[in-house]
Amino acid sequence: MIHRQLPYLFKKLLSHDSAGGVLLVFMTMVAMVLANSPFVGFYEDFLATPVQVRLGDLNIAKPLLLWINDGLMAIFFFLIGLEIKREVLTGSLSSPSQVVLPGIAAVAGIAAPALVYLWFNGQDAVAIEGWAIPSATDIAFALGVFTLFGSRIPLSLKLFLLSVAIFDDIGAIMIIALFYSSDLSTLSLIVAGSGLLTLFAFNRLSVRSQAAYIIIGTVVWIAVLKSGVHATLAGFAIAWFIPLKLKNKSGQEMLPHLEHSLHPWVSFVILPLFAFSNAGISLTGVSLDALLNPVPLGIAAGLFVGKQVGIFGACWLAIKLGLAKLPEGATWMQFYAVTILCGIGFTMSLFIGSLAFEAQDAAYMIDVKLGVLVGSLLSAVAGSILISWSQQATNPKGEVE
């Protein structure tokens, strides 16, 4: 009897909002255990496995780690692009009144952590390159923590958190494009631009073949990979040329169909694999002194202090000035708790860190991982405690709702 229920129970687990965040935490822990065990050699060899794809003169040869960071993460950015396009055209970002508060929050949530980081690292010509690391919110982790507290937290706060993360992702993408792309190849950029124009034509001509979009999109990704612009940006750009309501040959609206199809792969394969590949940090010799080095301290303080101070302060001012309203049904304590959760910057922060210090020695990435892990953990724990307190304050008798 039990074995008959397992597929249903498994499907129900995967459909839960927090499942992706829980899996991310688990894979992070696995990576940490392997990096501090006798199996560390196996872990490092796995990430260094050479993978090559060659077609005539076209040759792409990278270690597995970079295929994950440059290839699979492009699919993640593609999904982000699809979600943002849908929200802007028909969803929670389609009305100006819905955009004001999360927009202000996102700008402050990018600027304040960067300023905190620069406070600690502004005099170091190398370390200063990591200024954007604490500026991103990891929506999978943050939403995973948020949903663990059930339905007693207003839905409006979940929508606020999602909207902030969307603007945050847009900001991160712009930062990557402007500050972490170099040695540009004109020919490759021309090829990528031609591919995007082709996708635009497909959209205008109502081409219904998803395969056609995927093929040209792959060409754009390869061209961007070879151009010097980070390849993940190709995924985001391609998403904006996927038709929203045009039905594919199977009779399904193309963008929602692709979004729905990719979401489980991103949540349960790509992001956990990214976490597993990038979160492994050896704790050998790590002490409080190591955390107090400027880079990890700047990142941790940026995430834990900069995010909450910047977002809450800017939003409080905007609400008091009448520019926006507190999310419906939320208390100030609940709202403040969510601003703390915005300091969970795991995935995107590690990703930006890998770009910021890719030309430096491995010690910088150890600092990045340490700072991101500590800052994100502090934000998750503090946000969870405050949400719990806010629930008790709004339901002091402890009644089950």
H or E segment and range at residue 148: none
How much is the pLDDT for 5?
46
Segments of 314-388 assigned E as strands: none
Alpha-carbon distances, residue 59 vs 52, 238, 357, 374 (angstroms): 7, 22, 25, 39
Measured at the alpha carbon of residue 345, what is the angle toward residues 340 and 349, in degrees to the nearest 5?
A: 150
Q: Which residues contact 217 (CB under 8 A, 6 or more apart)?
A: 78, 195, 199, 234, 238
H or E segment and range at residue 91: none
Of 388, 338, 389, nearest to 150 by C-alpha is 388
- The string of DSSP codes covering 47-76 is HT-EEEEEETTEEEEEEHHHIIIIIIHHHH
How much is the pLDDT for 346?
78
Measured at the alpha carbon of residue 45, what is the angle toward residues 365 and 375, in degrees to the nearest 5?
A: 25
> Residue 276 CA to chain centroid, in angstroms?
15
CA 244 – CA 86 distance, rounded (Å): 7
CA 143 – CA 388 distance, rounded (Å): 15
Measured from the Cβ of residue 215, the count of other Cβ atoms closer than 10 Å reads 13
CA 184 – CA 86 distance, rounded (Å): 31
Structure tokens that stand for 11 in this block: 């499907």
Helix (H/G/I), strand (E/B), else coil: 253: strand
How much is the pLDDT for 183?
66
Alpha-carbon distances, residue 373 vs 141, 291, 300, 350 (angstroms): 12, 11, 8, 9
In this structure, are residues 394 and 331 in contact, taking their beta carbons and an 8 Å threshold?
Answer: yes
CA 175 – CA 161 distance, rounded (Å): 21
In this structure, are residues 98 and 92 in contact, taking their beta carbons and an 8 Å threshold?
Answer: yes
In this structure, are residues 232 and 73 in contact, taking their beta carbons and an 8 Å threshold?
Answer: yes
Structure tokens that stand for 279 in this block: 């979160």
Alpha-carbon distances, residue 77 vs 170, 233, 328, 382, 389 (angstroms): 10, 7, 30, 29, 35
Structure tokens that stand for 356 in this block: 């910021």
CA 66 – CA 47 distance, rounded (Å): 9
Of 238, 208, 211, nearest to 222 by C-alpha is 238
Question: CB-side exposure of 223: number of CA atoms within 13 Å?
Answer: 20
> Residue 121 CA to chain centroid, in angstroms?
24
Of 401, 390, 399, 394, nearest to 146 by C-alpha is 390
CA 32 – CA 36 distance, rounded (Å): 6
CA 294 – CA 292 distance, rounded (Å): 6
Output the pTM of the full model: 0.73
> Residue 99 CA to chain centroid, in angstroms?
20
Question: CB-side exposure of 218: number of CA atoms within 13 Å?
Answer: 5
- The list of the chain residues with pLDDT below 70 reads 1-21, 92-93, 139-140, 143-144, 147-152, 182-184, 285-287, 391-401
How much is the pLDDT for 147?
64
How much is the pLDDT for 301?
96
How much is the pLDDT for 45?
92
Domains detected in the chain = 18-69+96-179+274-394 (1.20.1530.10)
Q: The tokens 């038709």 sit on which residue?
A: 243
Which residues are 50's β-sheet partners?
63
